[in-house]
Structures are given as C-alpha cells and as structure tokens.
C-alpha cells in the first residue's frame, strides 16, 4: 500500500504517479552539444511521451539530460525556457501527469517551469544537506524551495533524492541521518533512492533502511528493470524508469515501446 504524502502542512492531499517513465531530452539551446535544431528535440520528446503513455505508465518525468556538463544549481534562463516548452509538448502528447527535473540541481528553476506548465511534481537531487559531485559541492536549498513553492505553485509536489546518484556524501553522514533530516525538515513529499549512477540499481539494504525510516512514499530512481522490479517493490512505493525502457538500454536513445510495455507488465504483477 503506497504511503500517504505528508511533506509539509497543507500538502497532504498530493499524489504521485506510481510508474514514471523518463523523457531524456537531447542537448537544449545554450548547451555545448546543441545542434541548432530545437524542433527535433521536441519531436523526439513527444514521441517518447506517446510511447510511455501507450505502454501503460502512470506519469512522465522530463529532464535536460543532454545538457552535460551541468551547472550545479542555477541553470541558464534559456534552459528554463526550453524545458517549459518541452513540458507543455510532452503533456499535450501524453495527457499524463508530468514531473520536471532541472539538472543538476535547480529546484527553484523546476518550480518555475511547473508554475508555467501542467507539471504537477518536480525532482530535486539535493534538497537538503550537501553532496560532492562532478559539479563540485552541491548544497541543498530546502528553505528557498519551500518558500518559492508556497508563492508560485503550492500544489506542486516535491520528490527529493537521498544520497543521489553520481555523488558522494560528506564523511560521517549516515544514510539514516540523511533520511531523517530530509523527511523531517526538508519539506519533501516523497523520497528517491538510486544506485551509484544512471542505470545502476539501488542497493537493497539502502532501500530497506530508507523505507523503514520514511513515512513518505519511497521511489526508485535508477536501475529498475522488468527483471528486478518485483523484488524492488517489496520495499518501494514507485519507480522512475529510464534506461531499461530505452532502445538497447541506453538512456539517451528513444523509448522502446516493447521494452516499456514489458516493464509495466512486470511492475503490475501482484
């Protein structure tokens, strides 16, 4: 039974889609690999969204995956504008609940996108505390995010990672302490547990620890496949799925409709 949401007062009636398929955008305007053809990026995104919906997913998450190397926090204005266009297009193509993640960790930007689109939730990789990443130390902005949400989009829900992938926690910080701080004082509405990197499964011991401590819904954030989802769902309430539903299992490739449908079928068992 999925857990109720209770991240902040006034947000107890929020809900997240259980099975969330990823739309990994190609390089957006302003990023080093952008080829000048924004229309083709939107076309690819809407095609992925249509396939995710056809496969039976409950929702979609969209992110600026192709923009590496990423800014640590404040993404450029052109990135926010491009994501706003992409979210609107993906929603129109799928009519599914849509979430947005502005990489690497622009939670304020994600809220701005959500305020101007049908997006109903965002993902923040480091909402509270500090993580060491390839962008340098990233410090959470929980206070700023909570206040901006209340001002511009109070009905938008927040998913927040614990020990996010592609990052290392500070020495001495335990998973239990990070979990308790996030769920008690960070303002999250759901928490996300990932593996070490994109496409890497979460450690089951870590997942069990977080689930045991969290009264919030717990989502898997990487490495969920048709083969392991049943075991993972013994602990998790939902999943964000990308790599395993893409052609050849490559995150930057288009969604493979057959693989996506197979995943949904496996996830719906029981």
Residue 120 lies inside a defined structural domain of this protein: yes
- The percent of residues above 70 in pLDDT, for the chain, comes to 94
Q: How confident is the model at residue 14 (pLDDT cuts 50, 70, 90)?
A: low
Question: How do residues 61-109 score in pLDDT, each as one tens digit?
Answer: 999 999 999 999 999 999 999 999 999 999 999 999 999 999 999 999 9
DSSP tag of 109: H
Q: How do residues 186-211 score in pLDDT, each as one tens digit? A: 999 999 999 888 888 888 999 999 99
The DSSP output letter for 120 is -
What global pTM score does this model have? Answer: 0.93
The token pair that represents 254 in the structure block: 């288009």
Tell me if 139 is assigned to some domain: yes
Q: Compute and round to an integer the Cα radius of gyration of the chain.
A: 17
Residue 8 lies in a domain: no
Mean pLDDT lowest among 64-68, 119-123, 221-225: 221-225
- Flag whether 7 is in a domain: no
Is 10 part of a structural domain of the chain?
Answer: no
In a domain, 160, yes or no: yes
Q: Range of 219's domain?
A: 19-268
Number of domains in the chain: 1
Q: Decide the pairing of beta strands 218-220 and 190-193.
A: parallel
Domain assignment present for 241: yes
Q: What CATH number does the domain containing 152 carry?
A: 3.20.20.390
């Amino acid at each position: 039974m999925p857990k109720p949401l209770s991240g902040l007062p006034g947000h107890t009636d929020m809900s997240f889609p259980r099975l969330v398929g990823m739309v990994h955008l190609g390089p957006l305007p302003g990023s080093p690999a952008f080829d000048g053809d924004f229309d083709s990026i939107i076309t690819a995104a809407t095609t992925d969204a249509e396939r995710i919906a056809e496969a039976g997913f409950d929702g979609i998450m969209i992110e600026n995956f192709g923009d590496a190397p990423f800014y640590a926090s404040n993404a450029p204005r052109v990135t926010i504008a491009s994501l706003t266009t992409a979210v609107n297009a993906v929603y129109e193509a799928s009519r599914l609940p849509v979430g947005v993640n502005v990489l690497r960790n622009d939670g304020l930007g994600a809220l701005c996108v959500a305020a101007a689109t049908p997006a109903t939730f965002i993902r923040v990789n480091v909402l509270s505390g500090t993580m060491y990443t390839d962008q340098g130390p990233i410090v959470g902005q929980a206070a700023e995010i909570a206040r901006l949400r209340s001002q511009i989009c109070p009905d938008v829900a927040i998913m927040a990672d614990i020990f996010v992938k592609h990052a290392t926690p500070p020495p001495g910080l335990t998973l239990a302490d990070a979990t308790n701080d996030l769920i008690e004082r960070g303002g999250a509405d759901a928490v996300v547990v990932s593996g070490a990197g994109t496409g890497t499964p979460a450690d089951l011991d870590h997942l069990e620890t977080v689930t045991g401590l969290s009264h919030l819904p717990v989502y898997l954030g990487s490495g969920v496949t048709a083969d392991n989802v049943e075991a993972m769902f013994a602990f998790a309430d939902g999943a964000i799925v990308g790599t395993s539903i893409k052609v050849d299992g490559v995150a930057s490739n288009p969604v493979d409709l057959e693989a996506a449908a197979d995943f949904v079928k496996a996830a719906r068992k029981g």
